């Protein structure tokens, strides 16, 4: 009921309504671009390759569905996210970048984002060349001359930069994270075709499997929502300050909420970017004339096609990036310092370094739960597919996490906009 009341109030406010319609318009532009293919495509070969290649299936998800038609935005926001990951990793080894991101406020973050955008351009060109050569080797693209290859690579890289810009506009003038919204739009756009395939392949003998799938889907979505919303409150006591020599009149008790999944959907997106990049490189190496490099590329590609290795590697990446993203976005030292400056403290814990260690230890323990859950959900489609034997009944995974997280984040931000204007 609160959900409908919130959106009713949102559409009564001209500014919030304008932001919501801007998001819808930007996503419409993205879907139009995703329907414009590059020339010389063998659509039948492309469908066969996508259905039998886990790597390309992930890339299609990551591109927001642009790969399924080899559109001009087939790379999606992948190069931008890869550049952002590289910049985040560099903050751990380059003090100037760490200072820029953590200590210079909004101006520093804007400068940090601008550097990420600049890195995106050469990265998009590199990925576009590698991927077009890979598709040409697979027979998806007809024989392209060097000028045609260069032209298509520039078009694809430009499309990726354009989508990055659209995502930035959504974040600035709309509601929600623009990059996540674009990936979300691509996932949702693929749902009708999945439902259609399930309807066409249905037989009465499949009824028990479909019923079990429906119950499993409800349980898994409920679990994702519960973990996404779960918090561990740390009690905080604030001593009332004495004024003009008067004695303190008492204490105010509150709490510091620590989310179990502090990183949200970003570990999944980061893990996908890292998972896709080496497969780009290995696919490129396997098509070279050098026998040693081609053999290495083939063996590495086959290794990534192994379901057990792929699942373990994917789980490990999600687990690692959950801790990594939490560490760079939540700083126990600054929290403890701010509490001490405001005269607040955690009952039973000394202010300062002891408070920092206590908050850090609590965050580490609850992040373990969140990281494990995210990792399990990420590899769950492979488990479900093995049980049901139907890839369309593989509930869970990256798509579900992104959809649930984006919807929850969007609802919260709309609610925040409504509350801010009410006050």
Give a three-class secondary structure readout of 104-135: CHHHHHHHHHHHHHHHHHHHHHHHHHHHHHHH
Q: For residue 118, is pLDDT > 80? A: yes
For residues 158 and 397, the answer to whether their CB atoms sit within 8 Å is no
User: CA 256, CA 246: separation in Å to the nearest integer?
Assistant: 29
Helix, strand or coil, per DSSP, at residue 239: strand
- Tell me, what's the pLDDT at 30? 86
- Highest mean pLDDT: which range of 315-319, 342-346, 419-423: 315-319
Both tokens assigned to 215: 């119950």
Average the pLDDT over each of 68-77, 107-116, 210-219, 242-251 and give the range with the smallest value: 242-251
Q: What is the pLDDT, as a whole number, of residue 247?
A: 47
Query: 401, 378 in Cβ contact below 8 A?
Result: yes
Q: Distance (Å, rounded) from C-alpha 318 to C-alpha 409?
A: 20
pTM for this prediction: 0.71
End-to-end CA, the chain: 21
Tokens coding 64 = 């927001």
Say how far apart CA 162 and CA 141 lie, in whole Å.
Answer: 23
Q: How far apart are CA 134 and CA 235, in angstroms?
A: 55
Question: In this structure, what are the phi and psi dihedrals at residue 344, rounded to the nearest 5 degrees?
Answer: -105, 160
- The pLDDT, as a whole number, for residue 147 is 83
Q: 41 or 136: whose pLDDT is higher?
A: 136
Backbone torsions φ then ψ of 104, nearest 5 degrees: -95, 10
- Which stretches within 53-189 are classed as H helix? 54-62, 78-90, 95-102, 105-137, 146-173, 178-189
CA gap 250, 241 in Å, rounded: 9
Confidence of residue 329 (pLDDT cuts 50, 70, 90): confident
Distance CA 86, CA 80 (A): 10
Asked whether the predicted pLDDT for residue 358 surpasses 80, the reply is yes
Q: What sign has the CA pseudo-torsion 38, 129, 190, 385?
A: positive
Partners of 37 in beta bridges: 71
Sequence-distant (6+) residues with CB within 8 A of 343 are 238, 239, 241
Q: How far is CA 402 from the centre of its chain?
A: 6
* pLDDT at 242 > cutoff 50: no
Count of CB atoms situated within 10 Å of the CB of 21: 12
pLDDT at position 246 is: 46
Percent of the chain predicted with pLDDT > 70: 80
DSSP 241: P
Calpha distance 402→137 (Å, rounded): 32
Strands (E), 218-369: 231-239, 251-259, 344-345
């Amino acid at each position: 009921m609160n959900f409908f009341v919130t959106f009713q109030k949102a559409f009564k406010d001209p500014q919030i309504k304008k932001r919501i319609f801007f998001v819808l318009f930007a996503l419409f532009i993205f879907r139009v671009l995703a329907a414009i293919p590059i020339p010389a495509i063998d659509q039948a070969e492309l469908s066969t390759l996508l259905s039998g290649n886990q790597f390309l299936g992930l890339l299609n998800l990551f591109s927001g569905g642009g790969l399924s038609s080899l559109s001009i935005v087939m790379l999606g926001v992948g190069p931008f996210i890869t550049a952002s990951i590289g910049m985040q990793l560099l903050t751990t080894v380059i003090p100037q970048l760490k200072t820029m991101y953590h200590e210079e406020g909004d101006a520093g973050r804007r400068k940090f984002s601008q550097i990420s955008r600049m890195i995106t351009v050469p990265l998009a060109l590199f990925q576009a060349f590698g991927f077009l050569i890979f598709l040409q080797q697979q027979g998806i693209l007809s024989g392209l001359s060097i000028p045609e290859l260069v032209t298509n690579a520039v078009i694809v890289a430009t499309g990726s930069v354009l989508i990055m810009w659209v995502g930035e506009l959504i974040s600035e003038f709309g509601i929600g994270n623009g990059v996540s919204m674009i990936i979300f739009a691509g996932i949702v756009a693929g749902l009708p075709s999945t439902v259609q395939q399930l309807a066409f392949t249905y037989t009465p003998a499949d009824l028990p499997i479909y019923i079990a799938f429906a119950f499993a889907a409800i349980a898994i979505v409920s679990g994702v929502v519960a973990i996404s919303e779960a918090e561990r409150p740390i009690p905080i006591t604030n001593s009332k300050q004495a004024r003009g020599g008067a004695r303190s009149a008492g204490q105010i008790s509150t709490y510091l909420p620590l989310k179990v999944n502090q990183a949200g959907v970003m570990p999944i997106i980061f893990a996908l970017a890292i998972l896709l990049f080496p497969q780009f490189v290995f696919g490129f190496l396997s098509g070279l004339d050098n026998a040693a490099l081609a053999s290495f590329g083939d063996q590495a590609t086959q290794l990534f096609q192994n379901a057990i290795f792929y699942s373990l590697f994917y789980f490990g990446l999600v687990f690692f990036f959950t801790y990594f993203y939490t560490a760079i976005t939540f700083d126990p030292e600054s929290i403890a310092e701010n509490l001490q400056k405001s005269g607040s403290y955690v009952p039973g814990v000394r202010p300062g370094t002891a408070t920092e260690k206590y908050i850090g230890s609590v965050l580490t323990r609850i992040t373990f739960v969140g990281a494990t859950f995210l990792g399990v959900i990420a590899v769950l489609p492979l488990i479900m597919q093995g049980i049901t034997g139907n890839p369309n009944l593989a509930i869970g995974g990256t798509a579900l996490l992104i959809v649930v997280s984006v919807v929850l984040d969007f609802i919260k931000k709309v609610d925040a906009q409504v509350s801010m204007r009410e006050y």
